[in-house]
Amino acid sequence: MAKTTLQANSRAVQPGASTRITLGSGKLYLTTFNGTLPETSAICVPDNLLGYIQGGATLEYKPTFYDAKDDLGYVVKTIITEEEATLKSGVLTFNGKTLEKLCDTARVSEDTAKHLRTVKFGGIGNAKRAKYAICFHHEDKIDGDIWVMIVGNNQAGFSLAFAKDKETVIDAEFKALAQDKEGTLITYIEEDASLTVD
């Protein structure tokens, strides 16, 4: 793996400081969650590609804090009471099977003789309560790849805008659920050539 090349600068890079600069988008993979988060090599395969994306992907982590303090503000104790994580991305290439994964009440049927795929949406009784393992893979030949993994489902619904001068992009927003008994919401994995065996 190639090392990062830093341009000469009047200020030297501080020892221990990261020199990683992350540029570019990546690919979004999705597979049914069976109770154990798969390895990146198992999920990031062509059959699990949700669709090519536009506008990159955004991971958001939002903790909620509570401050317990006395009336005069001398003694304060702060604790985290809630956590929320979402992975957002614009899905550019899609078909009916993609839409089924983005809507929990969607049902897909196919007529191979007529070459038709039909998707029906709606009806609370049709909810599958599906959970997916979702992985965004950012490839970087210089600093090393990054994988962001969550377990969840699209809870933002979707809209399909068909315009004469713009491509249709589905804005998916996957809300993270606990992926293990520790309550982990996000697994972030990065390659780092500086990690070596002693």
Closest listed residue to residue 100, CA positions, set 136, 127, 134? 127
User: DSSP secondary structure string, 46-60?
Assistant: GGGEEE-EEEEEEEE
pLDDT at 198 over 80: no
- Between the CA of residue 156 and those of 102, 104, 142, 164, 175, what are the distances in Å? 9, 11, 35, 25, 8
* Span 150-165, pLDDT tens digits: 999 999 888 999 999 9
Specify the pLDDT at position 19: 78
> Which band of pLDDT confidence, cut at 50, 70 and 90, is reported for residue 10?
low
For the stretch 18-75, pLDDT in tens is: 878 888 899 999 999 999 999 999 999 999 999 999 999 999 999 999 999 999 989 9
Greatest C-alpha distance within the chain: 76
pLDDT at residue number 7: 53
The percentage of the chain sitting over the pLDDT mark of 70, rounded to a whole number, equals 93
Listed in sequence order, the DSSP H helices in the chain are 40-43, 96-102
Angle at 182 between CA 38 and CA 20, to 5 degrees: 65
In angstroms, the Cα distances linking 48 to 21, 26, 27, 98 are 28, 14, 10, 10
